[in-house]
Structure 1
Amino acid sequence: MKRNFNVPRQTSFIKPEVQNPFSHRLNLSIVDKIKIAIMSVTIAPIRMILAGLCLLLAWPLAAISVAFLSKEDKQKPLSGWRKSLTRGLLFMGRCLRFLCGFHKVRIIGQMAPASEAPVLCVAPHSSFFDGFIMFVGDALMSGLSKIEITSIPFLGTFIEFTQPVLVRREDPDSRANTIREIRRRCQSGGLWPQIFIFPEGTCTNRSCLITYKPGAFYPGVPVQPVCLRYPNRMDTVTWTWDGPSAFTLLWLTLCQFHNYLEIEFLPVYVPNEEEKKDAKLFANNVRDVMAKCLGCPVTDHTYDDCRLMVLASKLEMPMEAGIVEFMKLHKKLGISYDQLNKYLEKFHSIAERKSKSITINEFAEYLHVPQSSALEEVFAMYDRDGSGSIDFREYVIGLSLVSNPANTENTLKMAFKLFQKENDYISEEDFNTVLHNAFKMETEEIHKLFEKVDSNHDGEISYDEFKNYATKKPEYAKLFTTFQDQTVENGQPDKTKSE
């Protein structure tokens, strides 16, 4: 009969409504393929050529406006004849948007002036076409940009003209300097262009709003939430980590007769005193307002989940295997990204079929023990959804809540005492006796495991050798305690308490 046991099931670790916000798939019908084929040899090439000409015509305007600016001038908003060139670039930007098929952009709500909302918070961020928001108002907006981008030929000139807040990632004071610069511009009374930010920090498939980065909320200034929607029958704009390439999406977008974009400006969000002191609270509250408007859930996914997806791909696993809702695990369990990196590599070594989950057979093989009631119980503690397999997220939570807490000095001493008899070491005979009785292991399997634990190959396992091996595989600790509990429950004497 299967034992009833308590398994940690905190509701705070329930799986998110959206499992993978970083994946996008295009399912093209035969009609779609025919239309794309026709457009690819007719309209799309013309659009591409005209868009290139538009950029070539816009570049001299941007280059002239930033020419011969001193370092001091770059610390001030553009004025005079330089600023007057903004209208020409706005026109070129709108032409570019039109040539990409966005013939009419629907605006909902009203855009607040820079004096009322110096920062625009734009989400969800799902495409390079999101940048078209720059051409909505009467003036170009500024964004956040790595300083290296300004040195890129051609593109760097356009970026420099928008006077972005430049981020120097190699500078240890980068965050403080960025916050200081945003605050300085926000206190100019609307002289500087509005700053638009994509607080999610990476592209998603718009199925949810992931964790907002708090950087732009540290200044504690009013922000205007801006919601983006692409109500197109075929989604050719979503550019994610797991999906079509940027050029593929660009070409497919050019092959559509019309592309629709909705931009909804919500009321300006003025932070209260508590939010001014807590940027994360400010960011989360703004996200909640935008999620309600969009009618979508929020999750604790972050850019670090994307990095784990890339690592999973390098390990020849499905990319979605690395998605764990990093921010939630970090907040609840204190796990760092570097730890998750190591856990994923370990998870990959267990899931030998290069799948995104571990079966109980693979779990047993990894621990070099056969299946038993004790192993099944430990496995069930990891298998939080009762699916019969353990995904990477369940594995991380299981290690943190089940195995690592059990992997204490007292547990290891108890387990070592269980194996040894009269000596201060474990002989292979003692090792064989316990494992055969406990897990019905064969002699050959026990010998292989004994050699792994006996690091100096002297035919004896000292406590240090036992501890060193068990520490590398904390799953053993819970296996030891579970077996011990079962032994006592079945009425057998507890050898570790015999003295």
Structure 2
Amino acid sequence: MEYELKALAPAPPVDPKPEPDERPLLKIDPQTPQTQIPVTNQSIEELEKKYAAFVRQDVYGSMGRGKLRLSEKLLLGLGMVVLLPMRVIAGTLLLVIYYVICRVCTAFLTPYREEEQEDYAHMGGCRRAVIVQSGRLLSRALLFVFGFYWIRGTSRSNEVDGQFNNETAPRDQSAELERPGAIISNHVSYLDILYHMYYCFPSFVAKRSVAKLPLIGLISKCLGCIYVQRESKSSNFKGVSGVVNERIQVAHQNKCAPKMMLFPEGTTTNGEYLLPFKTGAFLAKTPVLPVLLRYPYKRFSPAWDSISGKRHLILLLCQFVNYIEVTKLPIYYPSEQEKEHPKLYAENVRQLMAHEGNLILSDIGLAEKRVYHAALNGLLSQR
């Protein structure tokens, strides 16, 4: 009887075994707050239309993982056998040489410290001259190793800003007061940094982790980089902004001080678009020098838009010839209204750069780029 009652008793509900989540995992930066990025089932065509500023148009396709024709595979294989080893060795040698120069020039010196920043850009004399001149020379040599044998540069006349900036440089001011405190550039690739190092060896804004990288860390301190925690919204944000403004004003007034090089878009694009500008470069109310960079290509695009850094570097080094075009616009002098409204100042400079560079204005930014990368990575992994 007891056995029959047990048989008739309903069995306790058993939770079904959860199905394993087969969605691809994204690489998470341990220092970055983890937020949920939705990976949708949108087609690649829909994603490319929505996030056009980050879409790759070269023969390697989305994320550099597209299908290649036989001829492209042969060229890539030849580049990996012939070019890649030589360029890796030459590039590493140049990097080590410059690191040794920086190490020798900063020996027995205490770095300048301010607001949790640390750099050697404030030192003067022969040591500073050696760091700057050798840095410019070796930056150009590294671009040559990467296949940029020629750099095509043009400069626009002062008449170009007539319809965008109705306030020209004051004629009665000295040359020191007319000097720009910051260089403003569109951001296409990490190669932008190498070009600007060769052009004028400015200071950059970099992630705090850069200061701890082998070799690169010391070089960034010699450049006078300002380090920020990109995702941080802590109380030191205003301190970093204050350091940037102070550096810009000092560079505006002192010709011996390094200029600040800023990418107000905040991230890279495919080179055909211009994203909204952040106002950090325009809070100091000083003139700025707009510079436009473009990387023409036939097979591989040097733009670092939607491709991993390792894959991008390998494909770049396997490219036989790479091209870069630089357009330097006239110094932009803000009006009184622009000085009082940094957003207006930033937008007017952006409109000017888009007009002169034939760039398409876009209203998306870094957040949308991350969504695009996550969705694209998910779709390609499911293929």
The answer to whether the superposition gives a TM-score over 0.5 is yes
Cα distance change, pair 111–33 in 1 and its aligned pair in 2 (3 A):
farther
- The CA distance in 1 between the partners of 2:245 and 2:190, in whole Å, is 28
Partner residue of 2:361? 298
CA gap 1:189/1:209 in 2 versus in 1, 3 angstroms? same
Alignment partner, residue 77 of structure 2:
37
Q: Please give the secondary structure, in 1, of the residue aligned with 2:297.
A: coil
TM, length-normalised to structure 1: 0.55
User: What CA distance in whole angstroms lies between the structure 2 residues aligned with 1:97 and 1:302?
Assistant: 28
Change over 3 Å in CA distance of 1:40–1:269 after alignment to 2: same
Deviates most, 224-233 or 58-67: 58-67
Q: Paired residue for 1:101?
A: 147
Secondary structure at the aligned position of 2:302 is classed as: coil
Is 1:149 the counterpart of 2:210 in the alignment? yes
Deviation at 1:185, TM superposition (A): 2.2
Change in CA separation of 1:310 and 1:250 when aligned onto 2, cut-off 3 Å? closer
The residue aligned with 1:272 is 335
Matching residue's letter, 2:344: L
User: Secondary structure, in 3 states, of the residue corresponding to 2:184?
Assistant: strand
Please state whether the residue corresponding to 2:291 is helix, strand or coil.
Answer: strand
Deviation at 1:19, TM superposition (A): 4.4
How far has the Cα of 1:292 moved from its partner? 0.7
The residue that corresponds to 1:419 in the other structure is: none
How far has the Cα of 1:140 moved from its partner?
Answer: 1.6
Greater shift in the superposed pair: 248-257 or 288-297: 248-257
Q: Residues of 2 paired with 1:76 and 1:160: CA distance?
A: 7
Provide the rounded CA distance (Å) in 1 between the counterparts of 2:300 and 2:250: 37
Match of 2:136 in 1: 90
Q: Is the 8 A contact 2:285 2:339 kept in 1?
A: yes
What amino acid is the match of 2:203? S
1:116 and 2:148 correspond: no
> Could you say which structure has the higher helix fraction?
1
Deviations 1:56-94 (A, max 9, x none): 111111122333333558587331121121222222111
Range moving further from structure 2, 196-205 or 84-93: 84-93
What amino acid is the match of 1:193? P
1:231-290 C-alpha deviation (Å, 9 max, x unpaired): 1112331222x3x32222222222222111011100111110111111111111111111
Cα 1:45/1:178, change in 2 over 3 Å: same
CA distance in 2, matches of 1:192, 1:213: 24
CA offset at residue 206 of structure 1? 1.8
| 8 Å Cα contact 1:18-1:208 kept in structure 2 | no
Residue in structure 1 matched with residue 30 of structure 2 by the alignment: none
Question: SS in structure 2 opposite 1:42?
Answer: helix
Residues in 2 aligned to 1:230 and 1:144: alpha-carbon distance in whole angstroms: 22
Cα distance change of structure 1 residues 43 and 61 upon mapping to structure 2, 3 Å threshold: same
Q: Which piece of structure 1 moves more, 297-306 or 27-36? A: 27-36
Matched to 1:83, the amino acid is R
RMSD over aligned Cα, in angstroms? 3.0
Could you tell me the percent identity over the aligned residues? 26
Match of 2:6 in 1: none
Corresponding residue of 1:249: 312
The match for 2:291 among 226, 239, 245 is 226
SS of 2:153's equivalent?
Answer: strand
Aligned residue pairs, count: 300
SS of 2:343's partner is helix
1:80 aligns with 2:125: yes
Deviations 1:337-385 (A, max 9, x none): xxxxxxxxxxxxxxxxx9xxxxxxxxxxxxxxxxxxxxxxxxxxxxxxx
Alpha-carbon distance in structure 2 between the residues aligned to 1:293 and 1:206? 14
Cα pair 1:221 1:270 within 8 Å, conserved: yes
Structure 2: runs of 5+ lacking an equivalent: 1-47, 60-67, 114-118, 159-174
Q: In the alignment, is the contact (CA less than 8 A) between 1:101 and 1:256 conserved in 2? A: yes
TM-score when scaled to structure 2? 0.70
Q: How does 1:478-493 map to 2 (within 5 A)?
A: none
2:107 alignment partner in structure 1: 67
CA distance in 1, matches of 2:128, 2:243: 24
2:246 to 166, 181, 186: 181
> In the alignment, is the contact (CA less than 8 A) between 1:182 and 1:219 conserved in 2?
no
Equivalent residues in 2 for 1:380-459, closer than 5 Å: none
- 1:23 paired residue among 35, 48, 55: 55
Query: How far apart, in 2, do the equivalents of 1:110 and 1:75 lie?
Result: 34
Matches of 1:75 and 1:208 in 2, distance apart? 35
Tell me, yes or no, if the aligned pair for 2:121 and 2:221 is still in contact at 8 Å.
no
Shift of 1:149: 1.9
Deviation at 1:111, TM superposition (A): 11
Q: Where does residue 133 of structure 1 map in the other structure?
A: 195
Q: What SS does structure 1 have at the residue aligned with 2:194? A: helix
Query: 1: CA distance between counterparts of 2:51 and 2:327?
Result: 26
Mapping of 1:176-215 within 5 angstroms? Answer: 176-215=241-280
CA contact (8 A) 2:292 2:327 kept: yes
Q: Distance in 1 between matches of 2:357 and 2:252?
A: 31
| Alignment gaps of 5+ in structure 1 | 1-15, 320-353, 355-499
Partner of 1:237: 302
Contact 1:144/1:167 (8 A) holds in 2:
yes
- The amino acid of 2:56's aligned partner reads H
Describe the superposition over 1:366-408 as per-residue Cα deviations: whole angstroms up to 9, x where unpaired: xxxxxxxxxxxxxxxxxxxxxxxxxxxxxxxxxxxxxxxxxxx
Whichever residue aligns with residue 317 of structure 2, its letter is: L
| Partner in structure 2 of residue 406 of structure 1 | none
> Deviation at 1:188?
3.4
Change (3 A) 1:189 1:19: same
Decide whether the 8 Å contact of 2:179 with 2:253 is kept in 1. no
Query: Greater CA deviation, 23-32 or 219-228?
Result: 23-32
Call closer, same or farther: CA 1:246–1:147 in 2, change over 3 Å. Answer: closer
* Alpha-carbon contact 1:167-1:178 (below 8 Å) kept: no
Determine helix, strand or coil for the equivalent of 1:185: helix
- 2:19 paired residue number: none
* Structure 1 residues 354-369: aligned runs within 5 Å: none
Paired with 2:352 and 2:51, the residues of 1 have a C-alpha distance of 22
Pick closer, same or farther for the CA change 1:46–1:283 going to 2, 3 Å: same
1:63–1:134 CA distance, 2 compared to 1 (3 A): farther
Q: Deviations over 1:93-124 (max 9, x none)?
A: 1111100000111111179998612211111x
Tell me the SS of whatever aligns to 2:253.
Answer: coil
